[in-house]
Structure 1
C-alpha cells in the first residue's frame, strides 16, 4: 500500500481532507459522512488535478474512513493508475531501472551511468533493428488493411445485388389448354405458324361424350313432350269444367222451378187441411178424409225440403267448379290440381335437362380448340392420336408486345425489392445477357397481371414473386426458358449509392435514361410508405399455390 503524499487530497461536501493509503482500488481519509451514509460523490485532487469520483465507505477505524472506488469511468481509473506509477518511480529513486547485479554490488547512480556508457558501443545496432521491425509491422498492417478492403468490397457487392430464384421468361406467351378430355383427331398447326384469334388449332374426338349428348337430347325431348301432353290434358279438363258449370246452371234452374211448384202444392195442401179440420167435429168430414189430406200435406213438405236440398247441392257444385274441382255424384275429383302438380314437375325437369343439354353441347363444341388470341405457335406438346384430359396443355402461343420474366425471392428479402430497380438477366443455356427492371412485387401484383404458369413456381408458399419487365429481348430466345436474374438493390447508404450512381429506373423502360425527377432518388431515400405502396408482402406473403393457380386460370 502506498505512503501518504501532500499532493493527494479529497473534497467532500466542500471540505478538503488529506488522502492516505491511496491505491487504484480505494483510499483512506479522516472524514465521516453525515447520517451514517455509506456512499457519496466527491472530488479527489492528485498533483492539483481534480477527478470526480464515486466511493463507498467500507469501514471506519481510528477516525479514518476506509473507502473503495465505485463505478469509476475507464479514463479516471487510467489517470489514477498513471499517477500511482509516477509516484512509485519517484519514491524508489530509480531502483526499478537497475539490474539485479547492480543492486547487489551496491553501485550508485554515477557508477551505473559509467557501466551503461561502457556498453553503448554494443547497442548501436538496436535502432536499425527497431527500424526493421517497424517497417515489417507497417507492411503487415498495410496487407491487413488491403485484405479488409477486399473483404468489405465483396461484402458490399453481395449486399448490393439479390439473386432471384426460379426465374423464367413467361410474359410473352400464353398456354392453350384442353377444356374436355378426348383423343386428338387432328392437329391443324405447326410450330412457327402465325394464327389469328378464333383459328382452329386442334380437333378432339370423344365418342362417349357424343353418346351422352344424344341421350340427354332424347331425355330432353321426352320431357318436353310430357309437358305438352300435360298442358293439353289441362286444357281438356278446363273445358270439361266449363261444360259441367253450364250444365249445373241449367240443373239449378230446373231445380228452382220444381221447388217453386212444390211450395205451391204445399200451400194448397195446407189450405185444404185447414178447410176440412172444422167439419170433423160436426161429422160432415170423416177422420179418414182428414188424414188423407194431412198425409198429402206432409208429402208436399218433404218434397219441398228435397227440392231445397237439391238446389243447395247444385249451388255447391257450381261453386266447386269455379274453384276447378269437379263433383260427380258423391265423388270429388281435383283432377286439375293433380295435372298442375305433374305439369310443374315436368316443366322443372325439362328446364334442367335443357340446361344439361346446353352444357353438353358446349362441351362438344370444346372438342374444337381455337386460338385465344393472335400470335405465333412456338411449341406444340401433342400429336395426333394422343389422349388428353381436362386442363392438359396442348401448345403455346407467343405474341409481340409486353415481355416480362418472373421469379421468387424469400419473404425476408422481399423488403429490399422495389419497383424500378435495375435487373441483370442472363440465359445460361444460350449465353445471352440483357437488362430489365423490376415491375411488380407480391402475389396480388403478380397474379393480377399476365400469364405466370404453374410450372415456374418451384419455391415454397412463403416465397414472394417478382415481375421483371424486359424491353429489348433477343428474337431467338423462346418463351418459357429458364433465366438467371440478379436485382441491383443498391447499398442502402445514400452517399455510397450517389458515389456508385445507383438510381431507380422508370418502370416499363429499363434501357432509357430516367428523367431528373425520377432518377434523383436513391434506395436510401425511398421511404417506408413507398415500400408499403409498391410491395404487397405483409398481407400476401403466404398464399397457397392453389389460390395462385385459380387466379392464373381466371
Structure 2
C-alpha cells in the first residue's frame, strides 16, 4: 500500500497534464486527411444581438419564445404602459389647448388689423372731406366778399352808361308805340281798322311801356347806388361764409384724432401679434412634450434589432426589468463566420478577401468562405523554442472566415475543416 499511493498520484498528474495540453491546443486542433497533412478546424459561429427595453418596467406580454424566427422591427414584448399612456393623453390635451390659444390670438390679431385698416381709411376720408369743406367755404367767403365790395363801390361808369343807353332806347320804343296807338285809335273811330288791330297795338304799347319803366328803374338804381338793407344783407352773408370757413378749418383736428385711433390700433395689432407668437411657442412646447411622451410610450414595446432566431429568453411576464436588461438574445441571420487558429506557416500568404474552401465535418459538404481578418493570436504559441541553436517560437494566427452561404444542413456550432485557399 505504501508504494501504490505514489503510483496513483503519478497517474493522476499525467492525466491532468494531458488534459491541460489538449485544452490549450483546442483552438488550433486539426484533423489529418488522407495525405497525413494536418487540417485546422473551427466551429460555425454567428453574431448575436441583445433585445432590451430603453425604459424599465413590468413586462405584460411576451410575444415570442426561444427558437422563433423574427424580423427586424417586430414587437417581441411589451411593458406596462398605463401611466405613460395617461401622459400622452395629457400632452395631447395640452396641444389642443395651445392650438385653441393660437386660433384665439390670430383672431384678435385679425380684428386689430381690421381696426387699423378701418382707422386708416377713416383718416383719409376725413382728410379729403375736410379739405373739400375748407375749399368750398373759402370760395363762399370770396364770393360774399366780392358782393360786399361791389355794393360798397357802387356802379361803375360803364354800367351807368349802359343803363342810360338802355333807358333811351326803351323811351324811343315807348314813344313810337304811343304814337302808333293814338293813330290806330283815331282810325278805329273813323272805321278804318278793326278793334282786333287796335288790341294788337295796345299789347305792343304795354310791352314797350313795361320795358321803359324797368329801364328807368335800373337807371335810377345805378345813379343812386345800393340800398342800405342790401348792403347789410351782403355783409351778413359774408360773416356767415367766414364762420363756415373757420368751422371747416377746425375740422382738420378730426384728422389728428383719427390718426391717434390708427396709432392705437397699430399698438393693439403689435400686442396681438406678440400674443400669437407666444401662443405658437406654447403650441410648439406642447407638441414637443407630446412627442416626448409618445416616444416613451414607444419604448414600452421591445422591437427586434435585426432579423434572426431567438436564442434565449431572460425574463418572464410579470417580472420587473431595468433599462438595458437583455430580455432576449437573437442569433442574427446571414452573419455566420468561423475562426481558425493556424500556425505561421499555414497562415502565411492569407489576406482579407481571399476565397477559401472548407468542409462541413458532419456531412462532408463543401463550403466556400471569404477571409475577413488575419491576426496573431496573443494567447499562445503552438511551439516553444528550446535551447537548441536557431530555434524560435511558432505562433498561432487567428484567421476569421465569413460564411455567406451555408448548406441547409449546417447549424451554428458545427465543425468546419480547412481545405485551403481557392483560385479567384
TM-score by length of 1: 0.38
Which has the bigger relative contact order, CA under 8 A and spacing at least 6? Answer: 2
